[in-house]
């Protein structure tokens, strides 16, 4: 674009701080939001008085999607697949499961499993994935789920066993079946977390039409290609595909959260 780009990391409150600031920005194309799916979908249920409307406050330019989310059982369980993990859960009576936020993927995953298989779980909420996976490695937790990049060291060290995948099979572990392939039932297992780029609604269409292709074109950069490969992310989706996936995933996840009775935490 011939202009400098400054990256400002605005962490906190499950993405609320950064997304709210992007909403308030002038709709002139000079401020682009980059955030994960939970701050735009789950936050609608888990955050009281959300200061932005994900459906109407932004125009989504593109997104990248993970191939699949790993489901990991701690080594102490002895489980190497979903059936063995369910057997372990029923044998011990109740298990400790890691999550990094109410309504997050690992939280919804274990609640969905518990509902189908009749197991008892205690969900332990962490501030981020790193401490959660540390406790899986330390055998404090019986299991957890999340991103492959964060879970990989635990799987590679053998302190946790990859027992399934949410979404599609993971290229580094092609022999590990998805949760659906192992009998888990529900639309949730077809969802995959995404990272999306957006601008405030009201941004002129000519600016949107310029920015969206530029973000997709960035994939041709070798460093970007390497990053996508390292984190097992898809190629950036085009403008129309991004809109469709955002709407579909929003509808499915919001319905699931409602069925599970997830509410804002106090």
Question: How many helical (H) and strand (E) elements, i.e. helices and strands, does the chain have?
Answer: 9, 8
Helix pair angle (105-117, 239-260), 10° resolution: 50
Question: What are the DSSP E strand ranges found in the chain?
Answer: 33-36, 58-65, 68-74, 95-99, 121-125, 143-145, 160-167, 194-200
Tell me, what's the pLDDT at 191? Answer: 86
Residue 200 region, left (φ>0) first, then alpha (ψ -120 to 50), else beta? beta
Neighbours of 37 (CB within 10 A): 25
**Do β-strands 121-125 and 95-99 pair in parallel, antiparallel, or remain unpaired?**
parallel
Q: How many Cα atoms are found within 13 Å in the side-chain-facing hemisphere of 99?
A: 19
Tokens (6 digits) for 104? 């997050």
Interatomic CA distance for residues 184 and 89, integer angstroms: 15
Quote the pTM value.
Answer: 0.85
- Of 138, 133, 127, the closest CA to residue 148 belongs to 133
Positive or negative: CA dihedral 215, 219, 223, 226:
positive
Tell me, what's the pLDDT at 105? Answer: 87
> Torsion angle of alpha carbons 146, 149, 153, 159, nearest 10°?
20
Write out pLDDT tens, residues 221-248: 999 999 888 777 888 999 999 999 999 9
Tell me, what's the pLDDT at 266? Answer: 57
Mean pLDDT by 10 residues, the chain (266 residues): 92 89 96 94 93 97 89 98 98 96 90 96 92 97 93 96 93 94 92 92 96 93 88 87 94 92 78
- DSSP 3-state of 192: coil
Tell me, what's the pLDDT at 262? Answer: 86
- DSSP 3-state of 68: strand
Tell me, what's the pLDDT at 26? Answer: 97
Tell me, what's the pLDDT at 135? Answer: 98
């Amino acid at each position: 674009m011939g202009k400098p780009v400054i990256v400002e990391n605005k962490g906190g409150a499950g993405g609320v701080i950064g997304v709210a600031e992007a909403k308030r920005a002038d709709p002139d194309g000079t401020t682009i939001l980059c955030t994960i799916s939970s701050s735009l979908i789950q936050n609608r249920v888990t955050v009281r008085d959300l200061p932005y409307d994900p459906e109407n406050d932004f125009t989504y330019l593109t997104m990248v999607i993970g191939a699949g989310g790993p489901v990991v059982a701690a080594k102490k369980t002895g489980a190497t697949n979903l059936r063995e993990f369910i057997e372990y859960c029923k044998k011990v009576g109740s298990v400790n499961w890691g999550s990094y936020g109410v309504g997050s993927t690992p939280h919804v995953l274990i609640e969905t499993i518990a509902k189908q298989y009749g197991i008892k779980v205690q969900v332990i909420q962490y501030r981020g994935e790193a401490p959660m996976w540390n406790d899986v490695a330390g055998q404090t937790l019986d299991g957890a789920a999340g991103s492959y990049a964060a879970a990989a060291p635990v799987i590679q060290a053998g302190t946790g066993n990859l027992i399934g995948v949410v979404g599609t099979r993971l290229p580094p572990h092609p022999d590990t079946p998805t949760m659906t392939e192992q009998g888990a039932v529900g639309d949730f297992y077809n969802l995959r977390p995404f990272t999306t780029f957006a601008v405030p609604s009201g941004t002129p269409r000519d600016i949107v039409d310029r920015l969206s292709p530029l973000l997709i074109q960035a994939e041709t950069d070798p460093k970007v290609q390497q990053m996508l490969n390292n984190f097992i992310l898809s190629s950036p989706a085009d403008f129309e595909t991004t809109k469709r996936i955002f709407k579909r995933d929003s509808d499915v996840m919001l319905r699931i959260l409602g069925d599970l009775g997830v509410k804002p935490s106090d």
